[in-house]
A and B are shown apart, each in its own frame.
Chain A
Amino acid sequence: MTAAEIAVGVLVLVSAFLSMAAGIGVVRFPDVLTRLHAATKPQVLGLATVLLAIVLQVPTWGVLTTVVLIMTFQLLTQPMTAHMLGRAAYRSDHVRRDLLIVDDLGRDIAEHDQEPDLSPDR
């Protein structure tokens, strides 16, 4: 049992724990936005730890470059997914407004609806 083996084991366990936490959060949380908060953790951090474990186990340049590519694509695409899901949830009233503390977007939309002539370029 070497130090690298222990590091790989700990990293894999962190990723597995994050995945379990995301699953439990997706089941337990009350609406789409809070579930979004729970669900986006393993998609980035869990994947990062598991990719680090792969690099530790097979430390070659080919694996390292592929891992960097995978992480780059994940970091590019997952925020877009989360943003689009949250936007669709807000627009289609799947948000529980009694759970919101501050609703900046609602305030902005209300202001825009009151004075539609001040922004003719939209």
Chain B
Amino acid sequence: MTFLALVSILAGVMFGIGAIAALARIIRGPSILDRALATDVLLAIAICGLGAEMAINRHTDTLVVLLILSMFAIVGSIAIARFMAKQDAS
């Protein structure tokens, strides 16, 4: 087993733990702001995972996906935060 294969397994486990934790917060989250924040974290982990896969396998096929995600990740969270009502607890 090469060094990068070992790195990919370790990184995959850590990305998986982070993604599962963010999903748990999306499900449990007491307010919609917690859910928006956890969705942002999940998206950031997805971006980092795509980039790590590119770095380990030595290709740049999904670099454009990273560009688009980093441009438009802002829309959902800002829409939720901007149009949230004061009494909206869920």
Using a CB–CB cutoff of 8 Å, the interface residues on chain A facing chain B are 1, 5-6, 8-9, 11-13, 15-24, 26-27, 32, 35-36, 39, 42-43, 46-47, 50-51, 53-54, 56-58, 63, 66-67, 69-71, 73-74, 77-78, 80-81, 84-85, 87-89, 91-94
Find A39's partner among B3, B41, B49, B55 (CB 8 Å cutoff).
B41
Contacts of B6 in A (CB 8 A): 9
The reply to whether B11 and A42 contact each other, CB–CB distance below 8 Å, is no
Q: How far is the CA of A92 from the CA of B88 in the complex (A)?
A: 8
Identity of the chain A residue whose Cβ is nearest the Cβ of B67 in the assembled complex: A70
Contacts of B54 in A (CB 8 A): 54, 57
Find B18's partner among A1, A23, A66, A80 (CB 8 Å cutoff).
A23
Identity of the chain A residue whose Cβ is nearest the Cβ of B55 in the assembled complex: A53
The reply to whether B41 and A54 contact each other, CB–CB distance below 8 Å, is no
Listed A/B pairs (24) with beta-carbon separation below 8 Å: A12-B56, A15-B48, A16-B11, A16-B48, A16-B52, A19-B14, A19-B18, A22-B18, A26-B41, A39-B38, A39-B41, A47-B48, A47-B51, A50-B55, A53-B51, A53-B55, A77-B70, A78-B73, A80-B74, A84-B82, A85-B37, A88-B80, A92-B86, A92-B88
